[in-house]
Structure 1
Amino acid sequence: MFAHQLTEGLIRVLERPDLRVIAGARRVRLAPDLLDPFRVTDGGDVLLGAPCLQDGELLAAFYLRHALELAHLLDIAPRQPVMAALCAARTAALFLRLDTTRDTSAITPQWVTTMAAPQVATPAELQAAWQALSPFQPAPPHAPDITAVHARMERLWHWTGPTETLMALGGDARLSINPATGLNHYGCSHRPRPWAVTFASSTASSLSERGFAGAEAARLRLIAAALSDADNDMAATLSDEIRQRISRYFGLRGDEGVILAPSGTDCELYTLALAALAPGRRPVSNILIAPEETGSGVPLAARGCHFANDTALGHTVPKGHLIEGFPDTTQVINLPMRDADGQQIPPEQVDADCLRVARAELARGRHVLLHRLDLSKTGLLAPRMDTLDALGATAPAGQVDVVVDACQTRLDPARVRDYLDRGWMVMITGSKFFTGPPFCGAVLVPAPVMARLSADGLPPGLAQYTHRQAWPDNTATDVLPSGHNIGLVLRWHAALAEMTALGEVDRATVTQRLREFLSAARDAITGNPDLSLLPPVALSRPALPDAWDDQATILSFFIRAPGDDATFRPLPLPQARQLYAWLNADLSEILPAADPGERSLAALLCHVGQPVPLAHPALDDALAGALRISAGARLVSGEPSHDGLDSRCRMEREIRDVRRVVAKISLILRHWSVIAAHDPQPTYMPRRGMAD
């Protein structure tokens, strides 16, 4: 590459983490005499033409993404150049929409609008697009049979696109990217965002380069199969691989199973369906522990009701209404873990309440589905194991199911294996501790519960939520439609890349790294008078050899309200949500006459766990918002953007970053009124680095 011909904008494009991952080892060269934006050579190299040096950063990124996609698809399907060209063009057109909110029709060719449309283009439009795209190929092939091409594009249209776009499918509106910010509802991105400091694994994380590469590899396998063999169900293969890899990670056996779910709330729905299939078909009493610290839709799902207005498969449903096939006899019993002042209820009382309620329901002849919460949003755990053992020893055989809500998945695999050995279901996600993208969950099903799926059918209404291929092969899933949640498949492959990296670190090192970081993070929080750390939660888990999950990896804290210097009055929930968003925003252009160090801190993008609503005695009837700093898997396995640093330097950087997060909170409090007047929004990258 000829450095003297590189523009500053093109240099930034070539350094983008998403494009670096997609390019891999492919050679990208400049060809200033090439009048077309790019061309793919016979050898698979990408030549960037004069438009990439002249038309600005936005179009340079668009052209490079288009070129890389075409080169990949020609490698994958050399005998399908027309299909490769059209699929690459659609991917590039949708990629452009991720990069800008502007109307680009005046500076881009007509085919961009055609290929970005929600519905498949007409044969005539595809013909025109092909004529415009053919010069980008090494050697333009003969004129295509456009009718056959249209038929194939019709099948591929809705899941042809960039990985970032496809991963937003098959969840709910919270996955949608806000074009004004480049982020979703959780304040994170499906693209790598290495410039942001991220300790948000208790809520959701932006992808790392590692996770992005895992999803991208799965996407390319999907499209390769579709281009080479229209009958190849690669999505089924990828779904099977997800279940197999989850099974290996947690040590599942052949008679146990994995059900893939878009979210932890969907997991709750599935476990209720499995409990309802227990021998005797008794009505279910579903005992939830601290549901206010789990998912907002869990109490509805726990009754077998629609928990939102639409499902992950895109069906519009009446929120709060019973799902077809779920009995209306299900009762939900909520047991809190915090009192009216927000203080943790003593574990002994929570355990006594669990036993009292469960035994009362058993005495009424009902089937009990009892949750063990491991862990809540603020790291709470209940009931204790001896309580569950006592219930199991006295309950009628087969009349109690235990499901472990481990959706934070802050558990050593040996712990999960122990739960399964007890015959308990376990709900996990790849999107919390593992730092995969939001909305990838699973239910791990022990052998006794798996046996229930051999004869009886699931509630027919689950057909609006899940596909047959997301479940282990059995007769009970015959009521479900065939098909695939492509977004879920890609999100899980991203999460599996992080799980694999963590699994390669020996357990003693996992423990040591977590302890070192958490100790430094606690010191940073307790050493700042603007913050008040919630009392640490003692994790009541039996000792297991070499297990690393005996420490709290979520640190929750209140923030002092501005102006309350004499006493500590925490930020109410609405203001805590504002601060949470401002942490993730570049404030450098807002602060008045800030010194260089303060301006640099103001520009830093900090993503932490969303505020949890909690009562506090200083706020009377209002709720405070507790923010969270969490240790995630990448802290242990290494943030890929820190490559080149040894493990000691990596940890020092993580500790320095957590101190910077705490410092930015105090900075915001000092300038609250000025920042509130602007109310800045989070952005994908710092303002000075934004192309548009």
Structure 2
Amino acid sequence: MLAQQLTEGLIRVLERPDLRVIAGTRRISLSPDLPEPFRVTDRGDVLLGSACLGNGTHSAFYLRHALELAHLLDIAPHQPVMAALCAARTAALFHGLDVTCDAAPDGVVAVAATPAALPTWIDIMAADHLPPPDRLHDVWQAIAPCQPAPATLPDIHDVHARLGPLWAWTGPTETLMAMGGDARLSIDPTTGLNHYGCSHRPRPWAVTFASSTASSLSERGFAGAEAARLRLIAAALSDPQTDVPATLTAEIHDGIGRHFGLRGDEGIILAPSGTDCELYALALAALAPGGRAVSNILIAPEETGSGVPLAARGCHFANDTALGHMVPKGHLIAGFPDDTQVIDLPMRDARGQQIPLAQVDADCLRVARAELARGRHILLHRLDLSKTGLLAPQMETLDTLVATAPAGQVDVVVDACQTRLDPMRVRDYLDRGWMVMVTGSKFFTGPPFCGAVLLPAPVMARLSGRLPAGLAQYTHQAAWPVGQARTVLPAGHNIGLLLRWHAALAEMAALADVPRATVTQRLRTFLSAARDAITHNPDLCLLPPYAPRRRPLADAWDDAATILSFFVRAHDAGDTFRPLALAQARRLYAWLNTDLSTVIPARDADERRLAALLCHVGQPVPLAHPALDGALAGALRISAGARLVSGEPSHDGMDSRRRMERETRDVRRVVDKISLILRHWPTIAAHDPHPTYMPHHLEQG
């Protein structure tokens, strides 16, 4: 019986979505008599020894090590020592993440055979700094028996020197994708998730409608990033002179350009986030002919990124940058003018109600014309869309302003960081000479922190100028189009950003393969079911869905509200509807993403399964509400993303009808879990459980 349990445990490890993607078609077999934990054969097969039959975390570690070594030996068969040491580092970093993600919940005791001790070199190879040559020699001695045949160790000092340039970006995909952003990408050791409640490895057991905030990777996205990572390490091992990061960057530019129909005289700036995009747009507006001071007009900044108002003034918007520099948040970035003025135009009033579009448009014209009269350059935002799906100002208003302003004195930048719009809309914006900010991390459901600014030809011409010197703390030359302006920036590449964009490109390509009419039909089917689920639950109050006003377009899907925002009744509100205050909404948001099966006294198996379900929705948006006497409520969001349309590998075997039925059933389960949490709020609050990467029944497995 014990042997059967151990074998089933190994099978569960082999079926993990991240390891399944990495393994691909490689042949893996069990060899219990093997003296080593594993061995890679000369044919590239993987044999797993008895050490893989016990503890699940140990099994995953050895399997990940074996797969990495097999891949690297395929890539660089004449570099067995380098391949082995790189594989060991990847396995060591993977182990750190895996312990975080797979820690058993409090009170759960797993019964298994006593596992063999893990290698003592894990901490050595997981260190931030390259170990000295003698430690590398010891590690090699320990891992050499796992190679297809004994290999002669070359000069260890030469190996040490060659490993130096690779050390910082040798590791598993999920580790590298957390680089080159900011602290919000780091994995919280208590949850196995990042600040956004999502993971850089696939999490198919979670119900995810969080594309208005951020999404965990699908197997498709993970595979796209993994393929790019292997190309990086392949070049480093076999041909160090090849600039693969430059090739990966060019492929991202090509992929984004194809999707949005960019032309040869237009360009793309890659950015870690939408807030970085705002900083770049300001820098380009300051390079406009005439050298005028910039008045930056933001629409509904409270419904965009929290750092946007600071970036809009040319200030550091966090304490650290994507390139790892510590900076004084709120201080002006070197080289940005100190006379930039930021003007905020809200789209909601003090009661949280949407301000009529006609008033928003009138305010835009009034403010912009006043700033033009002062001789200032205007950078006016069109918000397409906000966190709750709002769009403003209207096209007619922008066209009127541009047509009546002095030539070249108005820049329009479209904040389309949600990217909930048809590529033909983006093409229209570029034709008007407007910059467009997009991301691969919202509607497209790529990993968080992959953004871009699309540049029309007139703005591209400004790259003969000089960017602010302080941008060197934020971005590399390679992220910008060729031009004199970028020479102030450092050489190099943001490896994490490249991998995140390759994950996003995989999702973009999958969506592009779906006929436009089918995209529209699937989104509208889901959104109708989601609206019904919200409106028929007395614990919820749907904010009036805002259908964006757009010009007619055949088979358009982007004129529908794809973000559904709603208030949740406070658990102690009684018969009246008083929404959860922001702090309580944030607790609910976290508990939805938590397995509550060990906390809630479930009445039956169905309720226990509902309590265990991990539900990831959009983070609460702070909004005013008349019932809270000036305090802010938190509006949660259920959003339709690209993956809802294109599916994902975990849906294999389902036809489109069954898959959409599953999605609509899942949205009803999210709503049901909200009500379940409200019924048991005091009990859950007493435990205050934290989100988890996977539900407890999988952790115990």
Q: Answer whether TM exceeds 0.5 for this pair.
A: yes
Query: What stretches of structure 1 move > 3 A for 4+ residues in a row?
Result: 3-6
String of CA shifts for 1:350-385, please: whole Å, max 9, x gaps: 000000000000010000000000000000100000
Which of residues 323, 337, 361 is equivalent to 1:351? 361
Residue 115 (structure 1) aligned with residue 114 (structure 2): no
Which of residues 137, 141, 166 is equivalent to 1:156? 166
Q: Secondary structure at the match of 2:121?
A: helix
Whole-Å separation in 2 of the counterparts to 1:197 and 1:323:
41
Bigger Cα displacement from structure 2, 586-595 vs 642-651? 586-595
What displacement does 1:639 show? 2.6
Number of the residue aligned with 1:36: 36
Given residue 94 of structure 1, which amino acid in structure 2 is its aligned partner? L
Given residue 194 of structure 2, which amino acid in structure 1 is its aligned partner? N
Whole-Å separation in 2 of the counterparts to 1:106 and 1:7:
16
Whole-Å separation in 1 of the counterparts to 2:231 and 2:349:
51
Amino-acid identity (%): 79
User: Is there any run of 5+ residues in structure 2 with no aligned partner, and where?
Assistant: 104-113
Counterparts in 2 of 1:4-43, with a 5 A limit?
7-43=7-43
What displacement does 1:8 show? 2.3
Whole-Å separation in 1 of the counterparts to 2:5 and 2:370:
78
Q: Conserved in 2, the CA contact under 8 Å of 1:615 and 1:623?
A: yes
Counterparts in 2 of 1:97-112, with a 5 A limit?
97-101=96-100, 107-112=117-122
String of CA shifts for 1:158-186, please: whole Å, max 9, x gaps: 00000000000010100000122110010
Given residue 18 of structure 1, which amino acid in structure 2 is its aligned partner? D
Number of the residue aligned with 1:398: 408
Bigger Cα displacement from structure 2, 638-647 vs 462-471? 638-647
Q: Conserved in 1, the CA contact under 8 Å of 2:55 and 2:115?
A: no
Which of residues 466, 489, 493 is equivalent to 1:480? 489
Q: Secondary structure at the match of 1:403?
A: strand
Number of the residue aligned with 2:142: 132
Given residue 360 of structure 1, which amino acid in structure 2 is its aligned partner? A
Given residue 469 of structure 1, which amino acid in structure 2 is its aligned partner? A
Counterparts in 2 of 1:553-632, with a 5 A limit?
553-632=562-641
Given residue 504 of structure 1, which amino acid in structure 2 is its aligned partner? D
Per the normalisation by structure 2, the TM-score is 0.97
Whole-Å separation in 2 of the counterparts to 1:691 and 1:569:
39
Whole-Å separation in 2 of the counterparts to 1:558 and 1:200:
16
What displacement does 1:145 show? 1.2
Q: Conserved in 2, the CA contact under 8 Å of 1:299 and 1:332?
A: yes
Number of the residue aligned with 2:332: 322
Whole-Å separation in 1 of the counterparts to 2:372 and 2:365:
10
Number of the residue aligned with 1:96: 95
Number of the residue aligned with 1:417: 427
Whole-Å separation in 2 of the counterparts to 1:549 and 1:199:
17
What displacement does 1:691 show? 5.2
Number of the residue aligned with 2:110: none
Given residue 45 of structure 2, which amino acid in structure 1 is its aligned partner? D
Q: Conserved in 1, the CA contact under 8 Å of 2:51 and 2:115?
A: no
String of CA shifts for 1:5-58, please: whole Å, max 9, x gaps: 9622211101100000000000001111101010001111000011112x3111
Given residue 37 of structure 1, which amino acid in structure 2 is its aligned partner? P
Q: Conserved in 2, the CA contact under 8 Å of 1:577 and 1:611?
A: yes
Number of the residue aligned with 1:429: 439
Q: Conserved in 2, the CA contact under 8 Å of 1:414 and 1:547?
A: no
String of CA shifts for 1:443-464, please: whole Å, max 9, x gaps: 00000000110x2111110000
Whole-Å separation in 2 of the counterparts to 1:400 and 1:184:
39
Number of the residue aligned with 2:205: 195
Counterparts in 2 of 1:355-366, with a 5 A limit?
355-366=365-376
Which of residues 382, 388, 395 is equivalent to 1:372? 382
Whole-Å separation in 2 of the counterparts to 1:35 and 1:686:
34
Number of the residue aligned with 2:314: 304
Q: Conserved in 2, the CA contact under 8 Å of 1:436 and 1:491?
A: yes
What displacement does 1:560 show? 0.3
User: Is there any run of 5+ residues in structure 1 with no aligned partner, and where?
Assistant: none
Q: Secondary structure at the match of 1:100?
A: helix
Q: Conserved in 2, the CA contact under 8 Å of 1:105 and 1:113?
A: no
String of CA shifts for 1:477-511, please: whole Å, max 9, x gaps: 00000001100000000000000000000100000
Bigger Cα displacement from structure 2, 369-378 vs 562-571? 562-571
What displacement does 1:260 show? 0.2
Whole-Å separation in 2 of the counterparts to 1:42 and 1:647:
43
Whole-Å separation in 1 of the counterparts to 2:287 and 2:632:
40
Counterparts in 2 of 1:217-228, with a 5 A limit?
217-228=227-238
Given residue 425 of structure 1, which amino acid in structure 2 is its aligned partner? M
String of CA shifts for 1:408-431, please: whole Å, max 9, x gaps: 000111111011011000000000
Q: Conserved in 2, the CA contact under 8 Å of 1:57 and 1:691?
A: no
Number of the residue aligned with 2:83: 84
Whole-Å separation in 1 of the counterparts to 2:467 and 2:325:
18
Q: 1:401 to 1:91 in 2, by over 3 A?
A: same
Number of the residue aligned with 1:509: 518
Per the normalisation by structure 1, the TM-score is 0.98
Given residue 56 of structure 2, which amino acid in structure 1 is its aligned partner? E
What displacement does 1:107 show? 2.3
Whole-Å separation in 2 of the counterparts to 1:171 and 1:105:
37
Residue 50 (structure 1) aligned with residue 58 (structure 2): no
Residue 147 (structure 1) aligned with residue 147 (structure 2): no
Given residue 641 of structure 1, which amino acid in structure 2 is its aligned partner? S
Whole-Å separation in 2 of the counterparts to 1:169 and 1:125:
26
Whole-Å separation in 1 of the counterparts to 2:263 and 2:357:
33
